[in-house]
A and B are shown apart, each in its own frame.
Chain A
């Protein structure tokens, strides 16, 4: 045991999270959100938007039926609210989401303890209206070019994702 202590074995420390693990963790969370939130609403979408041969036909249909696109925007906003709740509540309570739990990733505040406002800001990329949709592109790009691999919204919210390592 003394030998183990000398080598610091069995101890944990936090370090910069791997970008790949973060991406996989996000897709796991996305999958969960898809199953629990989008799935119940899928039938409503299917009934509103007819099956079309291509994406452009669907866009054309929505352009010709403004009332449907407004309605879909409202539903997407509701989905976004639920998805944001998923991230904010879990990260506030556990500092993790299921995806992050699988890879020992944690959300940490760079100031004091994590607060709801910080967690909301870091989840704003889920809001499906302009200009927030741009974050789908900007956020990951910024992550690749920052020292601690922070997304733009993480910089703004003064948070970062760390990985817990065990020796």
Chain B
């Protein structure tokens, strides 16, 4: 009998030991991948779109507040596939960014079957407005800044600077326009015209998308697509925004749509231990290997020197 008791006592100790080990492993895993232990129990996903919109984050954006279309697309897909999520709120506080990245996010929003609401807080201009317009409903604060439907491309020109220091740019190209937009020489009229043509095309896509998303006539959007920004209250009059308000209005609208009480849950990429460590390592290498100054001279290609933003 005593022997039997001892056996059960051993089993009990073993079970306690394995339970502790199980918990330790789960804590370790969550520390490494950054899984949020608060759980994803809500029925409305909130996805933040903050800072410049870029296609993917890289070392250049370490110190900037950016939103990557890759990450946002993943979060949208995850929310879309989660049965308990009935609606997705995009909390926007961004001046826009890459045209490609903005369109990627906008397309992903349009694909989802859930109710989507764009909530513009302080700023939702340009590419960020493109994203907002693709949601089912747009709510903005009356003092928020939105609109700015336009495209900008710019780069720093060094040709005058080089001339002053008697440094010459030796041009060796196969293909007359290969070095178009390089910062060491001025744009020719032909190159400038080509650039402007491309920008016009992007602007036209932007206008078409906004007109389609907001159910407006293209002509009407063209009139307001001067790149000018509008206050929330003006945007409402122009049809760029459906309602003025804040979180309360967002919740009220969604409750009407889904017919149940709203329980918001943040969808965001958690920064795990590994990710944080890799960021620290990246920062070190950024300073050691790259430096600030030499990046001007290594980035002589068009793609690196000219940035096109919406």
Contacts and interface: CB of A to CB of B under 8 A. Distances in A.
Nearest to B83: A51
Contact of A47 (B10, B40, B83): B40
A65 B70 CA distance: 13
A60 B85 CA distance: 18
B8 A101 contact: yes
Interface stretch (A2-10, A85-93, A146-154): A85-93
Contacts of A44: 26, 29-30, 35
The contact size tier of chain B is: 20 to 34
Nearest to B4: A101
A112 interface: no
A52 B83 contact: yes
B77 A64 contact: yes
B26 A41 contact: yes
B82 interface: yes
A108 B39 CA distance: 45
B84 interface: yes
A75 interface: yes
Given A75-B29, A94-B7, A40 B22 contact: yes
Contact of A86 (B14, B37, B79): B14
Contact of A51 (B19, B29, B30, B84): B84
A53 B83 contact: yes
B21 interface: yes
B36 A37 contact: no
B129 to A, nearest CB: 29
Contacts of B82: 50-52
Nearest to B41: A46
Contacts of A90: 10-11, 14
Interface of B: 7-8, 10-11, 14-15, 18-19, 21-23, 25-26, 29-30, 33, 35-37, 39-40, 74, 77-79, 81-85
